[in-house]
Chain A
Amino acid sequence: MKVMLALLKREILEHRNIWFVPVILVGIAILVRLSLVFGNLSVDFELPSQLQLDDQVDSVVNSVLARGLNWMNTIITMTIMVVACFYTLSCLYNERQDESILFWRSLPVSDTTTVISKLLIALVVAPLTVVVCQIVVAFVFFGLGAFDYLSVYLSGSLALLLKIIIWSLLPTVAWCLFCSEVAKKNPFLLAFVAPMLLWVIDSLFLNGVIGDNIMVNRWFGFNSYTSVPLISGLILSAVFISLAIVKRSQRI
């Protein structure tokens, strides 16, 4: 446990994007909120006095704001997921690149523990940052009214987030970790080109068997998923992660 915390701390110190991007996102939200008060986004509009105490008008205004915020939250989710993917693509590659892997591996930490710490960053820490970020932004916009908004929003979004993690994020980061470990020069290229080639071969010769059953649409397909691609995704994730661990344990 102590070792795992040390490893997680190491990742957060090394890959500053993990916390830097959320901070920027919250910063943008604060700017937008300030602009609504006195900047270019502020509306020069005063409700007629008889409507100012009307609850219905209030709720209409709030629901418009809530829809805007829902969008903002989607963007937060997407951005942090992208950060998580880029993180997994670079983490194992970077430590080989700067040769610090020699130092890390000279300490009594198994390769399995190390790779799992990186996986935890992408699958647990990043999604947690999404939720924290969304909560902070809600408070920026609504003040104490955020409780009402969040109770509605999170009741649906948390389940969705979990689906995204299992359905899309896990296979993606597992693949990225694998690429990060095996790529000689460019893990990014490998991560993008290999699936492209597979897709080309699949659609030219295999009638799209792989695409329809295994790869499927993992960006937007999570509302309609079926068990075959779900299970094959889990199996592939396990395979990629194991390969990354084995490969790292063979490094000198």
Chain B
Amino acid sequence: MSKTFVEIENLSKQYGSNTVLRDINLTIGEGEIVGLVGPNGAGKSTLLKAIMGLIKYSGKLSIFDKDPSRNRTELLKNMSYIADVASLPGWMKVKDLLEFVEQTHPKFNMARAKELLQDTPIQLNSRIETLSKGMKTRLHLVAILSINTDFLVLDEPTLGLDVLVRRDFQDRLVKDYYTQNRSILITTHQIDEVESILTRVVFIKEGLITLDIKIAELKDRYSKLITTQNVVFSDPALKPIYQRALPEHSELIFRDVEASALTEYGQVVTPSLEDLFVAINV
């Protein structure tokens, strides 16, 4: 039987008269890399705060069958969390940082951390503030990935990092952490930042989940037509959910339409998450 890490039922959150989350339903099991994607202010960080037990909410929310708002410390023993890779204390030495995590986290494995560090130019005696931004990210990841937990939460982890560091970050997540028994939840407002590693994507807009789909199902349900013809689709069964006119061609996104019905108009491909994100959220 596969394990369930996160179970959210009808979760809502209001700040005064402002509803930030409406009836959220979300279940995360093992073996998933879920991207929680939404524009700024969509409610994704509020949802993450609820998951981390930092705010009160109405509805049901359990992480490992526990209420996170009551068991935050206990919960953090079973999950790993990176809020912001720029948050490591600069005054600390790498060695002291790893020792601190070792002494405070029961599931931290120092041997594993040292092994991971060997692939990097980071010295144990370096002060963290002397490291480049990319190396700080790397170090944070080493510290967190050496914690032997099955659920990892990342909040806008690669915000402000250049493309090389970002790519490296993603690859290491997959290589050094992810297995069939573990899951990762990543929030971002830039879908292209995480697109390639996700197994499932959840779009959130104005407090509502607008799409929750496995990447594997994506190509069966959504298609993108690239055409140079000026076609008008009047048949309701063949109606695009989004279209975009570009200088050289037009792009149309379809839901639940057989690709064979479209090939006569042009090239049919699977839409990127970015395409889909725009199509669904405009």
Q: What are the 10 closest A-B residue pairs judged by CB atoms, nearest first?
A: A6-B103, A108-B76, A102-B87, A102-B83, A100-B89, A106-B81, A103-B87, A108-B77, A110-B73, A99-B87
Given known A-B contacts A13-B96, A102-B83, A252-B49, A107 and B89 have beta carbons under 8 A apart: no
Contact residue among B49, B75, B84 (Cβ-Cβ distance under 8 Å from A99): B84
Quick check: is A2 within 8 A (CB to CB) of the other chain?
A: yes
Q: Enumerate chain A residues within 8 angstroms of B80, measured Cβ to Cβ.
A: 106
**Bound-state Cα–Cα, A13 to B91, Å:** 8
Query: Are B104 and A98 touching (Cβ within 8 A)?
Result: no
**Bound-state Cα–Cα, A105 to B76, Å:** 9
Q: Is the interface of B mostly helix, strand, loop or mixed?
A: helix
**Bound-state Cα–Cα, A108 to B45, Å:** 20
Q: Is the interface of A mostly helix, strand, loop or mixed?
A: helix
How many chain A residues touch B (CB < 8 A): the figure is: 26
Interface residues of A in 100-138 (CB under 8 A from B): 100-110
Query: Are A103 and B104 touching (Cβ within 8 A)?
Result: no
- 13 further A-B contacts with Cβ under 8 Å, apart from A14-B89, A252-B45, are A5-B103, A95-B89, A99-B84, A100-B89, A103-B83, A103-B87, A103-B88, A106-B76, A107-B105, A108-B77, A108-B105, A110-B73, A252-B49
Q: Enumerate chain A residues within 8 angstroms of B84, measured Cβ to Cβ.
A: 99, 102
**Bound-state Cα–Cα, A2 to B104, Å:** 8
Give A95's nearest chain B residue, CB to CB: B89
Residues of A at under 8 Å CB distance from B?
Answer: 2-3, 5-7, 9-10, 13-14, 95, 98-110, 249-250, 252
Query: Are A13 and B92 touching (Cβ within 8 A)?
Result: yes
Quick check: is B110 within 8 A (CB to CB) of the other chain?
A: no
Query: Are A6 and B91 touching (Cβ within 8 A)?
Result: no
Min distance, Cβ A239 to any Cβ of chain B, angstroms: 23
Query: Are B91 and A109 touching (Cβ within 8 A)?
Result: no
Q: Enumerate chain B residues within 8 angstroms of A103, measured Cβ to Cβ.
A: 83, 87-89, 140
Give B108's nearest chain A residue, CB to CB: A107
Q: List 17 A-B contacts (CB under 8 A).
A: A2-B103, A3-B103, A6-B99, A6-B103, A6-B104, A7-B104, A10-B100, A13-B91, A13-B92, A98-B89, A103-B87, A103-B89, A103-B140, A105-B83, A106-B82, A106-B144, A252-B49
